[in-house]
Amino acid sequence: MEKDEKSSQVFACKGERCKEMLEKLSEYIDGELDPKLCEDLEKHMADCNPCLIFVNTLKKTISLFKYASAEPLPKEVHLRLHDYLKKKCQGC
């Protein structure tokens, strides 16, 4: 039972300080955050598991979307595009 609870990884968020931190997260993830604030944020995350999870899930969301859809251009769409443009543009 104890093991089950641990593996489900559910944590509670503590409050206002977290909100302040969360507003800076994109800058943190993109490496654009001022070093002092960066240090504060990392210190906060070491003590606040929900914020750490929030950062991890935010980073993962961004990376998942990179692979979420990479639809190739269908051959027939390519052919129709070139036909369409030829009709509309050639000779004008």
Partner 1 sequence: MFDLSDPILLEKIKTGDYKAFEALVTRYESKVYRLAIRMLRNQQDAEDALQETFLQVHRGLSGFEGRSAFSTWLFRLATNVCLMKIRHRGTEPSKLLPLEDYLPRHEEGEVPQMVDWTIRPEEALLSKESREKMMEALEKIPPEYRAVFILRDMEGFSNAETGESLGISVAAVKSRLHRARLALRGLLSDYFEMEEGTKRLGSGMED
List residues binding partner 1 (CB under 8 A): 8-15, 18-19, 22-23, 25-27, 49-50, 53-54, 56-62, 64-73, 77-78, 80-82, 84-86, 88-90
Measured in whole angstroms, the distance separating CA 36 from the mean position of its chain's CA atoms is 23
Of 9 and 35, nearer to partner 1 (C-beta) is 9
Of 46 and 62, nearer to partner 1 (C-beta) is 62
Q: What is the DSSP letter of 91?
A: T
**Minimum distance, C-beta of residue 2 to partner 1, in the bound complex (Å):** 16
What is the C-alpha separation between 42 and 25, in angstroms, rounded? Answer: 11
Which 3 state secondary structure label does DSSP give 35? Answer: helix
